[in-house]
């Protein structure tokens, strides 16, 4: 189990260029905990977005774009570029912060 977790963390870092350990604070600072369910983040049990559990195993991000590290980073930064009517707001999250969030989501 520990080895599997470490492998997922390392794979997420390589795939996104982010650091998943920085993500919890970023999720909270930008209010991300109010919309989707984010595994491992206390209070991230919103009902606006779906659960982000096992995001790494999905084919598409939000049902509209192929699930790749770069696409997830771009989706987090500017979701309307992929889906103009999405409920996910543009938050002002930087690319570095988006990479950390993407790494966290792929690791969990």
Residue 5: pLDDT band (50, 70, 90) is confident
CB proximity list for 27: less than 8 A, separation 6 or greater: 33, 38, 41, 44, 101, 104
What's residue 20's pLDDT? 95
What is the rounded average pLDDT for all residues in the chain? Answer: 92
Give the pairing of strands 60-61 and 65-66. Answer: antiparallel
pLDDT at position 107: 94
The pLDDT value recorded for residue 25 is 96
pLDDT for residue 47? 83
Domain count, the chain: 1
The rounded distance, in Å, linking the Cα atoms of 75 and 108 is 18
The model's pTM is 0.92
Residue 65's domain is classified under what CATH number? 2.60.40.420
For the chain, how far is it from start to end, CA to CA, in angstroms? 13
Backbone angles phi, psi at 34, to 5 degrees: -85, -15
pLDDT digit string, tens, across residues 32-82: 998 899 999 998 888 888 889 999 999 999 989 999 999 999 999 999 999
Domain that holds residue 10: 2-107
């Amino acid at each position: 189990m520990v080895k599997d977790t470490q492998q997922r963390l390392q794979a997420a870092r390589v795939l996104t260029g982010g650091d998943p350990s920085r993500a919890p604070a970023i999720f909270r600072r930008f209010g991300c905990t109010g919309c989707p369910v984010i595994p491992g983040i206390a209070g991230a049990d919103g009902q606006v977005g779906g659960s982000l559990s096992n995001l790494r195993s999905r084919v598409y991000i939000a049902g509209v774009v192929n699930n790749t590290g770069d696409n997830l980073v771009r989706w987090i930064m500017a979701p309307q570029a992929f889906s103009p009517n999405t409920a996910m707001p543009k938050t002002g999250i930087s690319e570095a912060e988006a990479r950390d969030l993407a790494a966290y989501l792929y690791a969990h």
